[in-house]
């Protein structure tokens, strides 16, 4: 599949993860979020930005367990808990947030 952003076509795989990580922009994140039926709030952005920083540092997208633990540490337990994270990203925080963040599907995510 592919996304249209400001007249540019961005390639993605059949599940919607973009092919070239370098093509990611904030605008693209908004387009992917819309396709995922997610209304981006400040908390959504915080998670997406966290994921991008994690990937930048470690070259992997963290497993959901690791993601929630790390978010709890950096943003507090109001955001960093299973229930709230699934409210933000109903189809799985790691899976959906990574897609919006322009990262590959998390390792071990089936």
Partner 1 sequence: MEDDVKKFLYVNRKAPYGTIYALESLEVVLIGAAFDQDVSLAFLDDGVFQLTKSQDTKEIGVKNFSPTFRALGDYEVTKLYVEKESLDERGLTLDDLQEITWEDEDDDYEEKPSIRIVTRAEMADVMADQDVILSF
Give catalytic residue positions: 109
Residues from 64 through 103 that contact partner 1 (CB under 8 A): 65-66, 69-70
Q: Which of 63, 79, 84, 92 binds partner 1 (CB under 8 A)?
A: 63
| Cβ neighbours of 32 (radius 10 Å) | 25
Q: Look up residue 78 and give its two tokens.
A: 């109001």
Shortest reach from residue 45's CB to partner 1, in Å: 22
Q: Considering beta carbons, is residue 38 or 94 the nearer one to partner 1?
A: 94
Residues 79, 32: Cα–Cα separation, whole Å: 22
Where b means 16+ CB within 10 Å and e means fewer, 68-102 reads bebbeeeeeeebbeeebbeebbeeebbbbbbbbbb
Residues from 2 through 61 that contact partner 1 (CB under 8 A): 54, 57-60
Q: Considering beta carbons, is residue 4 or 53 the nearer one to partner 1?
A: 53
Residues 4, 73: Cα–Cα separation, whole Å: 35
Q: Considering beta carbons, is residue 5 or 67 the nearer one to partner 1?
A: 67
In the complex, the residues that contact partner 1 under the rule CB under 8 A are 54, 57-60, 62-63, 65-66, 69-70, 107-108
């Amino acid at each position: 599949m592919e996304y249209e952003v400001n007249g540019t076509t961005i390639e993605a795989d059949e599940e919607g993860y973009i092919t070239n990580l370098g093509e990611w922009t904030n605008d693209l994140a908004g387009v992917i979020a819309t396709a995922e039926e997610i209304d981006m709030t400040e908390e959504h952005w915080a998670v997406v930005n966290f994921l991008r920083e994690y990937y930048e540092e470690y070259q992997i997208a963290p497993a959901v367990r690791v993601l929630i633990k790390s978010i709890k540490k950096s943003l507090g337990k109001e955001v960093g808990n299973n229930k709230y994270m699934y409210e933000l990203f109903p189809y799985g925080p790691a899976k959906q947030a990574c897609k919006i963040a322009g990262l590959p599907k998390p390792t071990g995510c089936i």
